[in-house]
Amino acid sequence: MTLPISRTAEQIAPFRVMKILGQAKTLEAEGKDIIHMEIGEPDFPSLACVHRAAMKAAEQGLTHYTPTLGLPSLRKKLAQFYRSFYHAKVAASNIIITPGSSSALQLVLTAILNPSDQVLMADPTYPCNRQFVELLHGKVKAVPVDADTQYQLSLKLLEQHWSKEIKAVMVASPANPTGTLIEQDALHDMAQFLSERDCYLIVDEIYQGLVYDRPAESILAQRDLPDNVIVINSFSKFFGMTGWRLGWTVAPTHLVDVLDRLGQNLYLSAPTPSQYGALAVLEEDALTELEQRRQIFQQRRDRLHSAMQQAGFNLKTLPQGAFYLYWDISQWSRDSEQFCADLLQATGVAITPGTDFGSSQGNHYVRLAYTSERIEEAVERIQAFVRTLHA
Ligand X SMILES: Cc1ncc(COP(=O)(O)O)c(C=O)c1O
Other beta carbons within 10 angstroms of residue 25's beta carbon come to 13
- Touching ligand X, residues 205-224 (CB under 6 A): 206
Judged by beta carbon, residue 66 or residue 178, the one nearer ligand X is 178
Please pick, from the candidates 70, 179, 240, 247, the single residue that binds ligand X as defined by CB under 6 A.
247
Judged by beta carbon, residue 102 or residue 336, the one nearer ligand X is 102
Smallest gap, in angstroms, from Cβ of residue 101 to ligand X? 3
Enumerate the β-bridge partners of residue 248: 97, 233
Judged by beta carbon, residue 204 or residue 328, the one nearer ligand X is 204
Please pick, from the candidates 85, 126, 238, 248, the single residue that binds ligand X as defined by CB under 6 A.
126
DSSP category for residue 280: H
Judged by beta carbon, residue 176 or residue 336, the one nearer ligand X is 176
Please pick, from the candidates 46, 66, 101, 355, the single residue that binds ligand X as defined by CB under 6 A.
101
- Touching ligand X, residues 278-307 (CB under 6 A): none
Q: Does 46 bind ligand X (CB under 6 A)?
A: no
Judged by beta carbon, residue 307 or residue 350, the one nearer ligand X is 350
Smallest gap, in angstroms, from Cβ of residue 68 to ligand X? 18
Is the bond preceding 72 in cis, omega lying within 30 degrees of 0? no
The rounded distance, in Å, linking the Cα atoms of 150 and 133 is 24
Q: Which of these ranges, 130-138, 189-197, 234-242, 335-343, lies near ligand X under the rule CB under 6 A?
A: 234-242
- Touching ligand X, residues 165-204 (CB under 6 A): 172, 176, 204
Helix axes 284-310, 375-387, angle to 10 degrees: 30
- Residue 365 backbone dihedrals phi, psi, to 5 degrees: -130, 155
Q: Which of these ranges, 94-102, 182-190, 214-222, 337-345, lies near ligand X under the rule CB under 6 A?
A: 94-102
DSSP per-residue codes, 27-68: HHHTT---EE----S-SSPPPHHHHHHHHHHHHTT--SPPPT
Judged by beta carbon, residue 82 or residue 244, the one nearer ligand X is 244
The rounded distance, in Å, linking the Cα atoms of 292 and 209 is 12
The rounded distance, in Å, linking the Cα atoms of 33 and 186 is 44
Judged by beta carbon, residue 123 or residue 204, the one nearer ligand X is 204
Please pick, from the candidates 17, 38, 40, 97, the single residue that binds ligand X as defined by CB under 6 A.
40
Smallest gap, in angstroms, from Cβ of residue 235 to ligand X? 7
DSSP category for residue 351: -
Give the closest residue to 174 by CA, choosing from 38, 318, 372, 17: 318
Answer yes or no: are the C-beta atoms of 35 and 348 closer than 8 Å. Answer: yes
Q: Which residues bind to ligand X, rule: CB under 6 A?
A: 40, 100-102, 126, 172, 176, 204, 206, 234, 236, 242, 247
